[in-house]
C-alpha cells in the first residue's frame, strides 16, 4: 500500500513510514524541531507541547474532552506543567496592557469559521504562503500566522473528536492536515489513521461534509509553530471546540459574515434551525429568526435553504473573513 503526495507525486510506502516511525527521530520530527528552534515566538515548551499534541493526538483530545479514563489525572498534570512554562507573548503585543494580559487557552488554540467556498480556496493553493500576524482576521493574542510550506501536501486524519465519542458521526476521516511539517508528521506517526490525499480529494471531503450540514474551521495553535495547520469539518455533537465555545471558552472566531433572512421567501420550514450547529436560528411566528450574537457565519443554513431565503452578509462587527485570495493580493507590492 502506498501514499502519494499529490503535486510532486513522491511516494512513501507503508514499510518506509513504519521504519521511520520506529526510528529514534522521524524526519518530520526533526524538521518540526528545527522550525520550532528558528521561530522566535516558539519556546522549548511549545515544541514539547506540539510534539505531544501531534504524536498522541487521540490521547490529547480524549483528555481535553474528558473522555479518556485518565482525563482527570493527565489534565491536572498538563495544567501544572503549563503553569510552570507560561505562554510567550507575541511580538505584536506592544502596549503595557497587552504585555501584562494573561494568555488564555483560547489565545493559543482556536479556529476560524469559513464558508465552504472560502475554505476550498485555502486548500487548493499551489504556491507557498507567508502571511504573518493576521490580527484583524484571527482575533487572538497568539497563533495567527498563515505560513504554508508545500501547501499541496495534505493528509486526511481520522477525527480525534469523533473517535472519542461512543457513537461518532460518520465518516470519521474528515480532518485535513495541510502543509509541512505537519502533514508528514501526522502520516509518519499515525500511519493507521492518516493517509495522503490530493487537493481535489480534500475539496470532495469538504463538500460532502458541507452537504451533511457540518461546518469548516481553519485551526491555529501556538504549539503548532504559532500558525495555521488544519481544516476540520465539525459537528456540534462531536466537536470539542464547538462545545467548548458554547460553554464559555471562546476558541472559535466568526467567519466575518452573518446570516440574513429574506422574509418574502421564507416559508418557515425550519430546516435552517435544524442544521444550525450554533443554535443561532429559531422559528418565531413561523419565520426563521437569526440570533446575531450566536451566528458564526458558517453558511450551513444558506446552503440548506431550498427557498434561497437565507444569504450570508458581510458584517464588520464580526471581524474580517479569512479570504486567502484577498490576503494574497494585499501582500503583493
Residues 163-220: pLDDT tens digits?
999 899 999 999 999 999 999 999 999 999 999 999 999 999 999 999 999 999 999 9
Mean pLDDT of the region 90-115: 70
Would you place residue 329 in the very low, low, confident or very high pLDDT band (cuts 50, 70, 90)? confident
Q: Please state the domain extents for the chain.
A: 2-86+102-254+323-331, 257-314
Peptide bond into 181 cis (omega under 30): yes
Determine which of 74-83, 261-270, 273-282 has the lowest per-residue pLDDT on average: 74-83
Per-residue pLDDT band for 268 (boundaries 50, 70, 90) equals very high
pLDDT of residue 150: 95
pLDDT band at 11 (very low <50, low <70, confident <90, very high): very low
The residues pairing with 231 across neighbouring beta strands, listed in sequence order, are 176, 218
| Contact between residue 308 and residue 265 where contact means Cβ atoms under 8 Å apart | yes
Q: Which residue has the cell 490529547?
A: 60
pLDDT of res. 98? 45
H/E stretch holding 160: helix 160-163
Quote the CA–CA distance of 270 and 281 in Å, as a whole number. 9
3 state SS of 310: strand
> Would you state the pLDDT for residue 76?
59
With CA atoms as reference, report the closest residue to 219 among 330, 325, 113: 113
Mean pLDDT over residues 121-147, rounded?
A: 94
Specify whether the CB–CB gap between 14 and 1 falls below 8 A: yes
Give the integer Cα–Cα distance in Å for 284 and 273: 11
Say which DSSP state 290 is in.
Answer: E
Q: What is the pTM of this model?
A: 0.85
Count of Cβ atoms closer than 10 Å to residue 93 Cβ:
16
CATH class of 257-314: alpha beta
Nine-digit cell string for 192: 493507521
* Strand 215-221, strand 129-131: pairing: unpaired
If one compares 93 and 27, the residue with the highest pLDDT of the two is 27
3-class SS of residue 286: coil
Which cell is 256 given?
466575518
Has residue 292 got a pLDDT over 90?
yes
**Percent of residues, the chain, with pLDDT higher than 70:** 81
Region 154-171 average pLDDT: 95
d(CA 199, CA 153): 8
Amino acid at each position: 500500500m502506498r501514499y502519494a503526495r499529490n503535486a510532486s507525486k513522491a511516494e512513501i510506502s507503508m514499510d518506509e513510514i513504519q521504519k521511520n516511525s520506529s526510528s529514534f527521530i522521524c524526519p518530520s520530527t526533526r524538521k518540526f524541531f528545527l522550525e520550532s528552534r528558528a521561530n522566535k515566538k516558539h519556546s522549548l515548551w511549545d515544541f514539547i507541547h506540539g510534539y505531544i499534541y501531534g504524536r498522541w493526538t487521540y490521547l490529547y483530545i480524549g483528555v481535553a474532552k474528558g473522555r479518556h479514563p485518565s482525563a482527570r489525572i493527565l489534565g491536572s498534570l498538563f495544567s501544572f506543567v503549563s503553569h510552570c512554562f507560561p505562554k510567550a507573548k507575541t511580538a505584536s503585543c506592544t502596549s503595557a496592557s497587552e504585555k501584562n494580559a494573561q494568555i488564555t487557552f483560547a489565545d493559543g488554540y482556536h479556529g476560524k469559521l469559513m464558508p465552504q467556498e472560502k475554505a476550498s480556496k485555502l486548500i487548493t493553493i499551489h504556491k507557498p504562503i507567508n502571511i504573518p500576524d493576521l490580527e484583524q482576521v484571527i482575533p487572538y493574542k497568539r497563533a495567527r500566522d498563515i505560513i504554508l510550506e508545500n501547501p499541496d501536501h495534505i493528509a486526511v486524519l481520522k477525527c480525534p473528536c469523533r473517535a472519542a465519542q461512543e457513537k461518532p458521526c460518520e465518516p470519521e476521516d474528515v480532518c485535513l492536515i495541510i502543509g509541512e511539517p505537519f502533514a508528514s508528521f501526522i502520516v509518519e506517526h499515525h500511519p493507521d489513521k492518516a493517509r495522503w490525499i490530493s487537493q481535489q480529494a480534500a475539496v470532495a471531503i469538504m463538500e460532502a461534509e458541507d452537504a451533511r450540514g457540518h461546518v469548516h474551521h481553519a485551526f491555529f495553535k501556538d504549539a503548532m509553530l504559532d500558525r495555521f495547520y488544519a481544516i476540520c469539518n465539525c459537528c456540534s455533537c462531536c466537536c470539542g471546540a464547538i462545545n467548548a465555545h458554547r460553554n464559555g471558552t471562546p476558541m472559535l472566531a466568526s467567519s466575518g459574515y452573518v446570516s440574513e433572512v429574506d422574509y418574502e421567501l421564507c416559508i418557515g420550514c425550519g430546516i435552517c434551525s435544524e442544521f444550525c450547529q450554533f443554535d443561532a436560528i429559531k422559528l418565531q411566528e413561523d419565520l426563521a429568526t437569526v440570533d446575531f450574537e450566536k451566528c458564526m457565519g458558517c453558511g450551513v443554513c444558506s446552503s440548506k435553504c431550498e427557498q434561497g431565503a437565507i444569504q450570508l452578509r458581510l458584517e464588520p462587527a464580526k471581524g474580517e473573513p479569512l479570504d486567502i485570495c484577498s490576503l494574497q493580493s494585499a501582500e503583493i507590492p
